[in-house]
Structure 1
Amino acid sequence: MAAKDLFHDAVKQALLKDDWIITADPLKIKIEGVKLEIDLAADKIIAAQKAERKIAVEIKSFLNTSAITDFHAALGQFLNYRLALQMSESDRILYLGVPVDTFESFFQEKLPQEAVKVYQVKLLIYNPVEEVIMEWKN
């Protein structure tokens, strides 16, 4: 089993506070011989729409000295996980969990913004101290 991100529990608590039901911790996917583990899976009933929303979240802390190195790894992981979800659970939407301070600094630079746009990366911006979701970026 892969090591949990430093902010794993903070994001989990933030989702629970937002009335999500954690359905897997981690979400294990196997595509033929390849085994993957996405940090969290969660479901939420949307009463007004009478529908269920299913998500998966790959949580990243961006605590290394090089944000671009962390971003390279996170983006590659995100793209592979999204493909695996499309192959196994096509109704589950993948989000990349990013701490608010990283979003407000590094993610405002041109390269990360363009990558998020081109690769259609959905972001869950969280505050690890307050354990709340600050914003969903689709």
Structure 2
Amino acid sequence: MDLDDTDKRLLAALQADAQATAEQLGAVLNLSPSQAGRRRQRLEQAGFIERYAARLNPKRLGLTVQAFVQVQMATHEPEKVKGFTRIVAFRPEIVSAWTLTGEADYLLRVYCADLTGLNELIHHVLLPHPAVARVQSQIVMDQIKADAPLPT
């Protein structure tokens, strides 16, 4: 499915405000509310829109430490890697994770209440895992650009 300019503008508007009503979207796109609603539904069904979510303020939730944690694996044995990825999937402090090329095998984005929480995650959860060889963390001092919408 090819996206036209109106579809791209609709996606940009939804990234800015996922709760926008069909009336609001129609006004932005110069379409009727029903046309805007049908376009949104078509983009949802085609998989361009995966889900809608609220963006929470980590500091208001008491999550004062954000860090990026690089993990280098000692082994790529499937069962041990599966155990590691299970930890990543179920630890609430780990909010996103990527596999990488280069020295580190994984990059984890974590939010913790404090440095003690980050220390606990690294030294009592990640490092003891038999598949993990090395962990390196970088604590975020300031975020100069918030997670931005995808370019459309």
TM bucket, shorter chain: 0.3 to 0.5
With structure 1 as the length reference, what TM-score do the two structures score?
0.32
The structure carrying a bigger strand percent of its residues is 1
With structure 2 as the length reference, what TM-score do the two structures score?
0.30
